[in-house]
């Protein structure tokens, strides 16, 4: 059994670790609240924009005179996947779950692909697995501006309109609750409306349909990428908060166990010293 001094030194080390993990948990909680608020605030705008595009796309499908390259459907011989992941670790199983979902998607597709990574963890994962890394964006702020995703949206729009890719998907962790973050993969290009059985309504457009499509479709793509980024940041911070809180609890439990061991060792030392004193006194007599 280690002596009391070694156990006390180890308790001090675990206490320092617990202080660090507790501070990280508090910082993550603060960042999570901001990220959660930003993600929830963008959802109504994103959903309403999707509804507007659904209405326009209905008329687009029924009007042969309308054309927009981002609504063009063609056989999917290759595709682009935008993979969002954190720059840092200490997020529990979030990184591995998100990476695994993206890898399973790529394996199931089984066609030529190119990956655009946002975040260091996803970039390292894609590189390790020998996949086609098309571009990498790292160092995103915890409170990103919409302009930060313009290079990504411009890249995928250019690739699709120039027939370099036949579809674009986005992979990220959506924020469900503090303890639940669900990896999902959605199609971004071409725009795909949800199937509904509602009666078709005739719409009046001002200005023209072409002008609305040319404005809404790029804006929709930018909004979806930005919203996915905010969801990923909220998921990252909530996962880190939970992981660091769990680490703090485990450290406190370890401190309790080590304190018990130290007390037993100290009692054993005292008992041994008393026996030595008694034995010495008896021998003198």
Per-residue pLDDT of the chain (285 residues; tens, 9 = 90+): 567 788 888 888 888 988 898 888 888 888 888 888 888 888 888 878 777 777 776 666 666 666 777 777 888 889 999 999 888 888 888 888 888 888 889 888 888 888 999 888 888 888 888 888 888 888 888 788 888 888 898 899 888 888 888 889 999 988 777 778 888 888 888 877 765 555 556 666 677 777 777 788 888 888 888 888 888 888 888 888 888 888 888 988 888 888 888 888 778 777 877 777 777 767 666
Q: Burial, 201: exposed, middle or buried (Cβ in 10 Å; 0-12, 13-18, 19+)?
A: exposed
- Give the pLDDT confidence score for residue 196 in this predicted structure: 53
Contacts of 204 (CB under 8 A, 6+ apart): none
Do 193 and 124 touch, CB atoms closer than 8 A?
no
- Give the pLDDT confidence score for residue 81 in this predicted structure: 92
Strand 168-175, strand 133-137: pairing = unpaired
- Count other C-beta atoms under 10 Å from residue 71's C-beta: 18
- Give the pLDDT confidence score for residue 59 in this predicted structure: 61
In the chain, what's the furthest Cα-to-Cα distance? 118
Q: Cα–Cα distances in Å, from 273 out to 2, 159, 238, 277?
A: 17, 80, 52, 6
Do 122 and 140 touch, CB atoms closer than 8 A?
no
Tokens of 262: 């130290």
Q: Cα–Cα distances in Å, from 173 out to 19, 56, 102, 225, 239?
A: 29, 29, 11, 12, 11
Alpha-carbon gap, residue 280 to 67, rounded angstroms: 103
**Secondary structure of residue 176 in the 3-state scheme:** coil
What residue spans define the domains of the chain?
4-21+243-278, 24-242
Q: Which DSSP category does 163 fall into? A: T
- The answer to whether domain 4-21+243-278 has CATH 1.10.287 is yes
Do the domains 4-21+243-278 and 24-242 sit in the same CATH topology, yes or no?
no
Q: Cα–Cα distances in Å, from 33 out to 30, 114, 176, 184, 272?
A: 5, 34, 13, 22, 56
Dihedrals phi, psi of 24, to nearest 5 degrees: -65, -35
Q: Cα–Cα distances in Å, from 13 out to 246, 258, 261?
A: 18, 11, 16
Rg (CA), the chain: 28
Q: Alpha helix (H) ranges present in 83-208?
A: 94-109, 120-128, 150-161
**Overall size of the chain counted in residues:** 285
Alpha-carbon gap, residue 65 to 196, rounded angstroms: 24
Q: Structure pTM?
A: 0.78
CATH H-level, domain 24-242: superfamily: ATP synthase, F1 complex, gamma subunit (3.40.1380.10)
Helices 94-109 and 209-284, axial angle in degrees (round to 10): 130
Do 261 and 41 touch, CB atoms closer than 8 A?
no
């Amino acid at each position: 059994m280690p002596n009391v001094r070694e156990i006390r030194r180890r308790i001090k080390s675990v206490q320092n670790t617990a202080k660090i993990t507790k501070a990280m948990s508090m910082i993550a909680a603060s960042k999570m609240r901001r990220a959660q608020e930003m993600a929830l605030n963008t959802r109504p705008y994103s959903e309403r924009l999707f509804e507007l595009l659904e209405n326009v796309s209905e008329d687009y499908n029924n009007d042969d005179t309308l054309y927009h390259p981002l609504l063009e459907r063609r056989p999917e011989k290759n595709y682009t996947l935008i993979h969002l992941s954190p720059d840092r670790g200490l997020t529990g199983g979030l990184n591995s779950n998100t990476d695994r979902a993206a890898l399973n998607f790529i394996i199931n597709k089984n066609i030529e692909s190119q990956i655009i990574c946002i975040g260091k963890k996803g970039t390292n994962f894609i590189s390790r697995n020998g996949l086609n890394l098309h571009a990498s964006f790292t160092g995103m702020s915890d409170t990103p501006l919409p302009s930060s995703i313009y290079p990504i949206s411009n890249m995928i729009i250019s690739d699709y309109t120039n027939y370099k890719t036949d579809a674009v998907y986005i992979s990220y962790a959506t924020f469900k609750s503090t303890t639940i973050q669900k990896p999902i993969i959605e199609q971004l290009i071409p725009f795909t409306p949800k199937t509904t059985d509602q009666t078709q309504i005739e719409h009046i457009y001002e200005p023209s349909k072409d002008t609305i499509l040319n404005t809404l479709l790029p804006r929709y793509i930018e909004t979806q990428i930005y919203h996915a980024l905010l969801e990923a940041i909220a998921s990252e911070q909530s996962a880190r908060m939970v992981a660091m809180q769990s680490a703090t609890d485990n450290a406190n439990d370890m401190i309790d166990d080590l304190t018990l061991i130290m007390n037993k060792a100290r009692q054993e030392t005292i008992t041994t010293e008393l026996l030595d004193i008694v034995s010495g006194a008896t021998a003198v007599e």
